[in-house]
Amino acid sequence: MTCPDEKSEETAEIMRRFNNAFLSHDASELKELVAENCVIEKIAPTPDGDRCVGRDACVALWEGIATEPGTHFDLEEVFAAGDRATIRWRYWGGDGKSVRGVNLMRVSGGRIVEAMGYVKTA
């Protein structure tokens, strides 16, 4: 059995690898990090967002965001506890404008199984 601290460390490492895909604009590792049954609760379209279901749909969404030319993310905080993680970020679009947001993540079996994204609005 894995103790909570070991699980937190595993989750933190998965989040480090996940975030690196966005920071480096290299999405090649995403497929390895995402579970077959992954579900993403998206921030768009507003006001209620949408869902991506399954590895292929989730990886395709994240690949598009990670490799978008002229954009970048600033990580503000990453926190892992057990199988859960919180990622606070700031996303800079190609137009130089930014938006702040948070992702609530869940990991199972060494892969991301759930991600819920929220953004700060005016």
In the chain, what are the domain boundaries? 4-119
CATH number of 4-119: 3.10.450.50
Alpha carbon dihedral 5, 53, 26, 23, in 10-degree steps, equals -60
> pLDDT band for position 122 (50/70/90)?
low
Q: Is 30 in contact with 62 (CB distance < 8 Å)?
A: yes
Distances (CA, A) of 122 to 3, 57, 99, 100: 41, 30, 10, 11
Alpha carbon dihedral 86, 60, 73, 116, in 10-degree steps, equals -20
Q: Tell me the per-residue pLDDT of 37-58, one tens digit each, with 9 for 90 and over.
A: 999 998 888 777 789 999 999 9
- Per-residue pLDDT at 105 exceeds 80: yes
- Per-residue pLDDT at 27 exceeds 60: yes
Q: pTM for this structure? A: 0.91
Nearest to 104 by CA among 11, 3, 9, 7: 11
